[in-house]
Structure 1
């Protein structure tokens, strides 16, 4: 089987349902950012240390979920043969993880600088890629119907990456670095 179709030679790609769109179509940008995030999460999981190895299974689960997100973003809502596949229960799973990690780290009232340990830094990069993907999904929903559960999940995922980055710092014995000019923002 050849993996190249030559459709891209003309700046086009096929989405689910066999519709041809431009490679810079807003839909392609949205699921492309999700794909980039998925690759980054895979790289991050490959860099886990003995101290952070407990995060491996959930990062892999997030990769599975991101494939579902990308599939739904690549699926036109009007396509009669293909329905959305993302399971909204995944958002509750993320919320439970966020709550767990938030309880396990020192309380902060100020902004923190992204970083600390190398793993926390990688997870903060995941957070910022997620935020970009979220902006692109929001733009997409302004022009086509999307699975709204995907948008909620992506929004929660950036919160997850913030919480798990702080937790990674705890696992690595690294303090968060407070932004020196921050006023209290968290209550």
Structure 2
């Protein structure tokens, strides 16, 4: 493997612009860079979840998610679409995980608050960052052509993170915290 990034300090962004995969320059305040940043933040929060969780199944199921989110960021940056685009099979895999986990959880009768165990709270944090990333990608899709699969993927991923937060509470023998109206 060759070095992909050999010089971290380039000073190329000192004017408020950054480079895309096609070597074009774009404002760091653009919708595209906001979306890429939100995806990066989501991936980082998932990394925190993975560093904190003691539940092997949760950890194992998050590994492909991190790789896919890196691909989403690369796609949004305009890198080699043929090698990065997610497709319906990624969405379907997440849906299978959601159904499988949700089938083992007690039915919800009320809204729940983020919390319970530390792992569940971190998964809820990841879910809320995922929703923000989804909104950023939707905004970008109004300005540029974006694969509709990306929006669908992020929508499902937030559901995935929600049911996994509930699973984390179940595995920790902690109850979900119900919203008291």
| TM bucket, shorter chain | over 0.9
> Does the alignment pair 1:106 with 2:106?
yes
Q: Secondary structure at the match of 2:14?
A: helix
Structure 2 spans left out of the alignment, 5+ residues = 1-5
Residues 80-112 of structure 1: per-residue CA shift (max 9 Å, x gap):
xx3252232111110011101111111012100
Structure 1 spans left out of the alignment, 5+ residues = 77-81, 182-187
Number of residue pairs aligned between Structure 1 and Structure 2: 174
CA distance in 2, matches of 1:129, 1:101: 21
What RMSD in Å do the two structures reach over aligned CA positions? 1.2
Q: Secondary structure at the match of 1:116?
A: coil
What's the offset of the Cα at 1:176?
A: 0.6
What's the offset of the Cα at 1:53?
A: 2.2
Normalised by the length of structure 1, the TM-score is: 0.90
**CA contact 2:72–2:86 (8 Å) conserved in 1:** no
CA distance in 2, matches of 1:54, 1:97: 11
Report what 2:163 is aligned to.
Answer: 163
* Residue correspondence of structure 1 range 98-137 to structure 2 within 5 A: 98-137=98-137
**CA contact 1:42–1:60 (8 Å) conserved in 2:** no
**CA contact 2:127–2:161 (8 Å) conserved in 1:** yes
CA distance in 2, matches of 1:3, 1:59: 28
* Residue correspondence of structure 1 range 1-187 to structure 2 within 5 A: 1-49=6-54, 52-75=55-78, 82-84=80-82, 85-88=84-87, 89-181=89-181
Tell me which stretches of 4 or more aligned residues in structure 1 moved more than 4 Å.
none
Residues 97-138 of structure 1: per-residue CA shift (max 9 Å, x gap):
110111111101210011111100000000000000011000
**CA contact 2:116–2:175 (8 Å) conserved in 1:** yes
CA distance in 2, matches of 1:71, 1:151: 15
